[in-house]
Structure 1
């Protein structure tokens, strides 16, 4: 039998392991499994608005807890945080849409629990195809949450409001766009919060941080080239999907070669007009593209990868 001291140490390790799992869940929003990255992402949420941090943690806790209760921890998915990141994003998206309230918190609990069900289904359906789940469960739940409940006009995200810009962006606008492209992955509006997210990526992987930075820069250049409104570019509304696409293809699923780097750049470019088109389609109903452009672009480019007779193909095991 274990001694009293061993029992105390075991009990002490369990909360630490649990919080590490939840931090992994936050980090997996950007395809990382580093707890320090998750902690920095959480710091970015609180730096932008403490309510984002609270609702992000709530969604992560519920989604991970629901998955654990349903015994979906095959291949260590729980410990890797792969059952928590969609809940994290749903919590933040619901807050941004409806504002902080008891009703919002209840909806986050329900939506995050549904995310765990959809994630399990997506793993079963996409696994035989060799495709990763990515943020598809979050997108499905968030789309329903965005359209079904009446929104709080004061809390409506910037992506749901039409903008126009008569002049080109200044250097300050371009700098903000670079940071906000990264921050908007978490709905962050303060440019320095985006920098904290980038530092979090750097802690996990220099390759991921470089990919995110390049994806953001490519998105800014692409958005300018096709003449998108300067103020929306500066807010990062056209670039956050490109950031995630770049991380997925250049730093997660494809081997690092010059060919795959160029392939990832092409995918990041493609995600910008797709984001624009998706926004135009869903805006009339009060919806948002969320990260659907990232999901669809990444799936298509990964599905095409085995057909490319180039170094770095086929890609690594999908998550």
Structure 2
């Protein structure tokens, strides 16, 4: 039972690429601080996706490292964030989390999956909910702002990785990353800051900037690509700025972006890196 709990916590930690049970526990603490409902969604999604991987006999080491948990974590949070809780959304979490596990296994053989299984499975489930008109999409208007709040921008940018628009939650998330890796902590801060400032320079909506909506994909880009070397810093910077542009462009055409800008920007950065290596 103790090992299973650690597996679940590592799954939550892997949302920000941290194979650390304490990190996962602190992430959950941050989510529950802001929303007990989304906290339950995170736990449920992680359990379902992990159990499904076990039942399909996927590699034991990968399961124990939480690699089949984190996409389910995000599915559970996202469904409750967008639709609230009822019998249909509980079923949607089960279907979406299980689907994310299958997609993860299929993608990992070809490309680094990151959070792509979460994005695809959540889009599929949300489409199904919408087509069959099972439950309405919740609306949450953004606060109106007349000036940049940099502290809020950076902290919420980290929190919004898991749909948490809360300063304290963002700080708890940063502490959770620091427990696991100082480099990841530095790049999470850097990504959130650069994402917010890039959006500001592009004159994107200030209210969206202040609540971290242009920071969370940038946070993930920074953690995924950033290293102690200059090439890692340059790659992370490139992907961070690109994620802001993708987030804006996809939003303009009506796409619920989730973490798709992070995945796309990181794949593009890794592709460019591989091409540059071939020429050297």
TM-score range, shorter chain: over 0.9
Partner residue in 2 for 1:231: 207
Question: Matched residues in 2 for 1:298 and 1:265: separation?
Answer: 11
1:123-138 map, 5 Å: 123-124=108-109, 126=110, 131-138=111-118
Question: Matched residues in 2 for 1:222 and 1:77: separation?
Answer: 36
Question: Matched residues in 1 for 2:114 and 2:158: separation?
Answer: 17
Partner residue in 1 for 2:31: 45
Partner residue in 2 for 1:32: 18
Q: Deviation per CA, 1:72-125, whole angstroms, max 9, x where unpaired? A: 116x1101100000001000000011101222112111211111111111123x
Deviation of the 1:166 alpha carbon: 7.8
Confirm whether residue 19 of structure 1 aligns to residue 5 of structure 2.
Answer: yes
Question: Matched residues in 1 for 2:197 and 2:56: separation?
Answer: 45
Question: Matched residues in 1 for 2:33 and 2:94: separation?
Answer: 23
Give ranges in structure 1 of 5+ residues lacking alignment: 1-14, 315-319
Deviation of the 1:165 alpha carbon: 6.2
Aligned with 2:243 (options 271, 281, 301) = 271
Question: Matched residues in 2 for 1:65 and 1:121: separation?
Answer: 17
Give ranges in structure 2 of 5+ residues lacking alignment: none
Question: Matched residues in 2 for 1:29 and 1:36: separation?
Answer: 13
Q: Would you say the 8 A contact 1:99–1:152 is kept in 2?
A: no
Partner residue in 1 for 2:97: 112
Question: Matched residues in 2 for 1:55 and 1:88: separation?
Answer: 7
Q: Deviation per CA, 1:108-164, whole angstroms, max 9, x where unpaired? A: 11211111111111123x1xxxx31101111001112333314535x33x4xx6x69
Question: Matched residues in 2 for 1:106 and 1:271: separation?
Answer: 31
Partner residue in 1 for 2:57: 71
Partner residue in 2 for 1:145: 125
3-state SS of 1:288 partner: coil
Deviation of the 1:298 alpha carbon: 0.6
Instruction: State the TM-score, normalized to the length of structure 2.
Output: 0.93
Question: Matched residues in 2 for 1:119 and 1:305: separation?
Answer: 23
Question: Matched residues in 1 for 2:190 and 2:243: separation?
Answer: 14
